[in-house]
Structure 1
């Protein structure tokens, strides 16, 4: 069983970000609240008021079932709000200036005020990030350790195939994944929380609680006890015991639900492969992740092709229909590369944003 979480920016017709998630939640559900159920999805606030999250109400073994839940929820969202807003995927909003947004100021205000006091939320690593999160269920403590340790070795390749944030405040930066570039530094005041993105290998499941306690000790020193919860761990892969899942946080949001689900299918298949033949030591995984953040899939293409073949070898027919998209990303470029090709030929960010918005609304991919 897996579940997914999808973060989208809220925009006006000109695709300028609008920090109005609280107003939208009130409009749809009748009151300002953190989250609520709506048709086939759960809708929730995010830290940034210009971002809103959708997740399927029911985890599933079927990728197409998850896709249908989210897409039906999105269609319902547009209808309920009379198409007043345009939603946009991608790992960062490409033209957002930090002065144009704010953070959630309703329930749980103490949490965000504490984050702001300790880390300063007014930076791109907090206020302009959108991730695709995939939650993989575990059955036993041994299964938790196995899945955690296998997934950590896949993190560089997931970055390489999903990078979608090459533009910041309207400028091309030279990096394929600016979201992670900012994110990995957003809690530098307490390095234990984010580490170097890559979590340590677990020898036993209790190692994870020891890691959390190291974070909590440092937080208490800064009078930030309110943050001493399992969700404070900001590494690229964390354990959510309350949900009994391992949560992968390293992927940039993609341009459509289908594309997100293709990534989910890729992960699902690779978890079933017995021998991945990828690096397992911290230093190499970190080095490969940095390469992917900078260059996307260009320097990791051979490894990605090998992983793709292994994924296909264990895939169901349903999963194969999604893996086609992964093959296209490996051969033709991740979303950052696609965006840059379009930008270099047209020099028109607004046209790219409109195409990306249309992809999400119509559930199609950008090629």
Structure 2
């Protein structure tokens, strides 16, 4: 274990992107070629100054992440964008480019999925044997991960309580996966709809997505890790899999590095949008941890099932869903039913003085014009022809290249 940090002292951000063919938008399973071009020989991880690149489960997805913990969130939009531009330059001769959003709109996972065949492939192959990774929930999901540190059990308790409370609202801020296989799915956050049942063969791994009411390391092991280890044992006879990675809840405790990783954030069209969302989530969590909205005891009262029952309709309807549970709304000082969009507007105003002005433009667009899913569907205008979908998603790829938000 490395150095331990206190609450909100440092952060780790991870962004996942698809590689696609520049001519036809098909997924391009050549992350190995990209990493080889950059490094001179194949490797699964590349350090690139303040950033690092790595492979993922499938061969067409690359992850760009902060190279270790960083204290400076406000520089990350530009840092990520520099790396995106570099990757696109490396991919250009291969007629390939990066594509943002949490799901490819035309991919057929049964025919287009190729697993990573190099390092850690035994782990990926075992996952594939257990879960059959040729499905949208495995091969067509790109997300943003936010890693937040805690120093000890006292800090873990506060951070875990705050994160659990906020998780249900996250799809209403950042859903970006409304289309699969050329059709509207009816879900603003299709990635999370798949996330719920992706590991149904071993339900202990995901639970109710929202973590259980556990607020210490020992209780976490007893309530979450031990059942996972017991459930996986018949499948993992050689003890290949690590319980930290098997835990697939929407926020996972990483006691190996004293951090909690939030996993419910769909990736956006550009780092400017991603980082604005990350900063807003982090500032709201700070406010919760500091009892700015409500007490720790009130936060801890909520069961995972109650919070899941709120998350579920927001996965479907995104920011348009009306939250009417007065007890939940009271956690944020709201006393009347409100749409998720208006809840986010209200809590944004509460924490806005603590947010750097560089994020205001992106947050204003997201909170006023809707989630990226909403803006994509508006741009599609009910024309789900392959040509129209490609036009919109190539526009999104251009947003990524230029670090600019998508406006319908």
Quickly name the TM-score band, shorter chain normalised.
over 0.9
Instruction: Identify the residue that residue 202 of structure 1 maps to in structure 2.
Output: 214
| Distance change >3 Å, CA 83–CA 272, structure 1 → 2 | farther
Aligned equivalent of 2:40, options 30, 46, 52 = 30
Distance 1:275 1:303 in 2: 20
Instruction: Identify the residue that residue 116 of structure 2 maps to in structure 1.
Output: 104
Distance 1:78 1:97 in 2: 24
Residues 285-324 of structure 1: pairs in structure 2 closer than 5 A? 285-300=307-322, 302-316=339-353, 318-324=355-361
Aligned equivalent of 2:234, options 209, 213, 221 = 221
2:225 is the alignment partner of 1:212: yes
Distance 2:263 2:83 in 1: 22
Uncovered stretches (5+) of structure 1, i.e. residues with no partner: none
Instruction: Identify the residue that residue 355 of structure 1 maps to in structure 2.
Output: 395
Distance 1:94 1:146 in 2: 38
| Distance change >3 Å, CA 260–CA 56, structure 1 → 2 | same
Equivalent residues of 1:164, 1:334 under 8 A apart: yes
Secondary structure of the residue that 2:63 maps to in structure 1? strand
Equivalent residues of 1:266, 1:323 under 8 A apart: no
Deviations 1:218-237 (A, max 9, x none): 11122352113311111100
Distance 1:360 1:165 in 2: 16
Aligned equivalent of 2:273, options 244, 259, 264 = 259
Deviations 1:125-158 (A, max 9, x none): 1111101111112122211121111111111111
Distance 1:340 1:47 in 2: 28
| Distance change >3 Å, CA 312–CA 138, structure 1 → 2 | farther
Residues 1-367 of structure 1: pairs in structure 2 closer than 5 A? 1-14=10-23, 15-82=25-92, 84=94, 85-98=96-109, 99-210=111-222, 211-224=224-237, 225-273=239-287, 274-276=291-293, 280-300=302-322, 302-316=339-353, 318-344=355-381, 347=384, 348-367=388-407
Aligned length: 367
- Give 1:79 deviation, angstroms: 3.1
| Distance change >3 Å, CA 200–CA 150, structure 1 → 2 | same
Distance 1:282 1:220 in 2: 25
TM-score, normalising length: structure 2: 0.85
Distance 2:181 2:382 in 1: 19
Distance 1:342 1:80 in 2: 30
- Give 1:246 deviation, angstroms: 0.8
Uncovered stretches (5+) of structure 2, i.e. residues with no partner: 1-9, 323-337
TM-score, normalising length: structure 1: 0.94
Equivalent residues of 2:156, 2:215 under 8 A apart: no
Which range is displaced more, 312-321 or 206-215? 312-321
Deviations 1:310-346 (A, max 9, x none): 4443445653442543343233211111111111165
Distance 1:172 1:203 in 2: 39
Distance 1:59 1:365 in 2: 26
- Give 1:294 deviation, angstroms: 0.7
